[in-house]
Amino acid sequence: MTGTAREIGVGIIGFGTVGSGTAKLLLENAELLRRRVGAPIRLVRVADLDIERDRGVPLPDGLLTTDGFQVIRDPAVHIVVELVGGKTDARDFLFEAIRQGKSVVTANKALLAEHGEEIGKAVTAAGVDIGFEASVGGGIPIIRAMREGLAANRINEVYGIINGTCNYILSRMTDEGKEFADVLAEAQSIGLAEADPSFDVDGIDSAHKLSILVWLATGGTVPPEKIYVEGIRDISAQDIGFAREFGYTIKLLAIAKQTGNGIEVHVHPTMIPSDHLLATVGGSFNAIYVKGDFVGSSLYYGQGAGKLPTASAVVSDVIEIARNIRKGVSGRIPASGYHDHLTGKGTTVSSFADVDFEHYLRFRVIDKPGVLSKIAGVLGSHQISISSVIQKGRRKESAVAIFIVTHHAKEKDMRAALEETDRLPVVLDRTRMIRIENNL
Amino acid sequence: MTGTAREIGVGIIGFGTVGSGTAKLLLENAELLRRRVGAPIRLVRVADLDIERDRGVPLPDGLLTTDGFQVIRDPAVHIVVELVGGKTDARDFLFEAIRQGKSVVTANKALLAEHGEEIGKAVTAAGVDIGFEASVGGGIPIIRAMREGLAANRINEVYGIINGTCNYILSRMTDEGKEFADVLAEAQSIGLAEADPSFDVDGIDSAHKLSILVWLATGGTVPPEKIYVEGIRDISAQDIGFAREFGYTIKLLAIAKQTGNGIEVHVHPTMIPSDHLLATVGGSFNAIYVKGDFVGSSLYYGQGAGKLPTASAVVSDVIEIARNIRKGVSGRIPASGYHDHLTGKGTTVSSFADVDFEHYLRFRVIDKPGVLSKIAGVLGSHQISISSVIQKGRRKESAVAIFIVTHHAKEKDMRAALEETDRLPVVLDRTRMIRIENNL
């Protein structure tokens, strides 16, 4: 199909939340899309195993099918939108569409994080395009920012609030002083958290998205399993209260930083200054803070999930690909944003043991003289110096909390020190440690 | 030049701050750019009237010329970067380059605001491309967000902090309680404000940029002279102090909103809730807050000016055009982002008189009984009701300040009311009015 094309056909596989939002957008904003592309975009086919349930989006007759491959094979479909999720069927649909010479759009972050490079090569080989704007940051056009808007820069640092569920939970804990379990239960009751919330609250989803961001920043892949991940289950109202007192806000940050030897890539709760733009990102919103060598600091903020914002991202890819189809080109921008023809080009991940942070430590100890000096002694023996200490607890209690903020220390030293302090008889629980980022 | 091209040549006209930043980027990140584009980007020619002064960017021998047209005519130059500024020579260079079949990149917001449509048509007719990412928001990829990332949306509202000088001045007035004139003088002394600061502090620059944003949001043009503009000269430390007390921060906002009949387009100081993301944009940073019908709220933040951030934006356009040249295409995305073939397609600007805001009013009055009732009476007679009142001033003084916050009122009613109150013998000065935006 070339410049003379009268119409560009779209097929959707997966008629769930995002699929129905995408169909709604394609239908309602059809005239706008025509003006954007220079040719009409027509929704040609929609596949889902369940074609009975009413999604509230009235489709023209005859569009629905239960067979995803029928969407792919339809000659009127030029762009296949894969919104099935998961890694099995989705993978089959994606590769089959590419093999059939169809361009593809997907929101499937797990698939991209684990098979991005393979997908990128298949796309290039088949002479088609792939869009995955919806895979990170929902409606935020962060993929485009990385592949195009900031393309002239070496990307030195990325800090992302890229899981809406975690940000919603932490924001409500911060605003209302509630505990994790209570807010999680409420989030589950209103559909903002899954019945099994592990994928979100344990940081796995953030790691998948961070893997994609690193791929776009560097051109090389980092498999999610190489990313150090810590979730938000252990954050207490006490930690958040202490953070506030010291001018910090706790966010689950996905962090990537260029170092002298490779790139640091990690996801964990982080204390950041409360007056930083990222600290003001509330509710289920997402934001990605990116530093480049020429552009300096920049930030992209918006709805990280949801039917309509995600549809906005999916259809932005449909528009981009349709603009290419109209001009008869593909491969203007490779999947990663880089024309690297090396196979298996990974990015070197520097050791997490060498990562350097200030730290917040919360010890639960027996209230008797000499305890602090014992802890300080252990820290000191691991080259960790203390910036401030607060002790809290009623006098009648036998257990009290000691809060310590350290100066910069390496992860490996901190771990060795905590292993040792946690064996002290006066220390009652596993010590809570949260990393502090002052330089973002 | 098509897919087999070995090299894409760039010529720069104007070797000032942005020109030298652009040259520096093209030279220093040449290998990165090659990986981004799939072909080398070579800086072929640089023109400036002054080719003696050292810009701190060592150019290869023989690149410099005093003749901009020589850059355009050079057959090795495929992309002409116009960074001359102004509206006379810049216009000649731009149109000559287009006529010669060269794609162009410019940061010239005044030229685009006033001749955007004409330039867009010339570009389409000549089969070349134009990039102007650097014209709004410096390094922030907001042009791309509007033309591509959010392209599936009807853009309903835009609120921009798009003049770094004004934001720097207002931020320092807010943080330090200083008066406008003092901060302006300091900003001038460090080069953050021009000797004649009118273009910035009177809001003209913001209006030019807003005109471009509206063009990209709607596909239709709004000439800058149709935009209501009010600068920041009259903002006092007193206003800022009052705003803070009531939970507001004063920003110079460039606002565009779709209404039932056309679009509201205006630039003026605005009180916004201090906990809104836009209120936390400090210093000379820029941010653009955009609401679309599917994406909801989104925000783009970064350096709004400066040698390196602006170069990042200029070269992002060079990359985009080079990606097109490599594939042998142009016109994938028209200048406005819309394929509208109507001539003279303007956007209907709704009357500013009908704009609706809450208002902050500062009256300076003679301190005697009955004054407030007189003022309230006048406001009431124009359908303006009062939300809160504070009176400040020492008892010994004959003049006191009355601060009033109103409920929603139309601009025309507010103007009529203030014309009347300002004629009251008890009112000593022209009353200060600042619009309040609570719903952004």
pLDDT digits (tens, 9 = 90+) for A136-159: 999 999 999 999 999 999 999 999
Is B323 close to A332, i.e. CB distance below 8 A? yes
Same domain, A175 and A72: no
| Partner-chain residue, chosen from A32, A277, A327, that has the shortest CB–CB distance to B280 | A277
> Minimal Cα–Cα distance from A78 to chain B, Å?
17
Interface A–B counts its CB contacts (< 8 A) at: 203
Same domain, B168 and B285: yes
Residue A428 pLDDT > 70, yes or no? yes
* A125-152 CB burial, b ≥16 within 10 A, e <16: ebebbbbbbbbbbbbbbbbbbbbbbbbb
Same domain, B23 and B34: yes
Contact status, residue A316 vs residue B150, Cβ threshold 8 Å: yes
Is A303 close to B298, i.e. CB distance below 8 A? yes
Contact status, residue B64 vs residue B47, Cβ threshold 8 Å: yes
Q: What is the pLDDT of residue B260?
A: 83
Same domain, B64 and B152: no
Report the first-to-last Cα separation within chain A, whole angstroms: 47
Tokens of B134: 């650097």
| Partner-chain residue, chosen from B149, B219, B340, that has the shortest CB–CB distance to A316 | B149
Q: What is the pLDDT of residue B3?
A: 44
Is A133 close to B139, i.e. CB distance below 8 A? no
Instruction: Return the sign of the alpha-carbon dihedral for residues A145, A147, A149, A150.
Output: positive
Instruction: Return the sign of the alpha-carbon dihedral for residues A147, A148, A154, A158.
Output: negative
Residue A271 pLDDT > 50, yes or no? yes
- CA A405 to chain centroid, in Å, comes to 28
Same domain, B119 and B188: no
Q: For residue B276, what are the domain limits?
A: 142-303
pLDDT tens column, A215-262? 999 999 999 999 999 999 999 999 999 999 989 999 999 999 999 889
Same domain, B284 and B164: yes
Q: What is the ipTM of this complex?
A: 0.96
Residue B169 included in any domain: yes
Alpha-carbon distance of A67 to A71, in angstroms, equals 7
Q: Checking phi first, is residue A86 left (phi over 0); if not, alpha (psi -120 to 50) or beta?
A: left
Instruction: Write A48-55 long-range contacts (CB < 8 A, 24+).
Output: A48/A13, A48/A14, A48/A15, A48/A16, A48/A19, A50/A15, A51/A15, A55/A15, A55/A19, A55/A20, A55/A23
Is A152 close to B315, i.e. CB distance below 8 A? yes
Tell which residue, A16, A30, A14, A90, has the closest CA to residue A322: A30
On average, the pLDDT of chain A sits at: 94
Q: What is the pLDDT of residue A344?
A: 58
pLDDT tens column, A158-181? 999 999 999 999 999 999 999 999
| Number of domains present in the structure of chain A | 3
Please confirm, yes or no, whether A209 is among the known catalytic residues.
Answer: yes
Q: What is the pLDDT of residue A395?
A: 63
Tokens of A14: 């997966």
Is B298 close to A139, i.e. CB distance below 8 A? yes
Same domain, A297 and A311: no
Same domain, B321 and B267: no
> Minimal Cα–Cα distance from A347 to chain B, Å?
15
| Partner-chain residue, chosen from B35, B144, B309, that has the shortest CB–CB distance to A296 | B309
Q: What is the pLDDT of residue A125?
A: 95
Same domain, A24 and A50: yes
CA atoms within a 13 Å half-sphere pointing along the CA-CB vector of B306: 16
Contact status, residue B9 vs residue B77, Cβ threshold 8 Å: yes
Can you list the residues of chain B whose pLDDT is less than 50? 1-4
Last residue of a domain, one of B303, B335, B368: B303
| CATH code for the domain in which residue A243 is found | 3.30.360.10
How many residues appear in chain B? 440
Same domain, A16 and A99: yes
Same domain, B46 and B156: no
Same domain, A87 and A170: no
pLDDT tens column, A345-395? 778 999 999 999 999 999 999 988 889 999 999 999 999 999 999 987 666
Residue A343 pLDDT > 90, yes or no? no
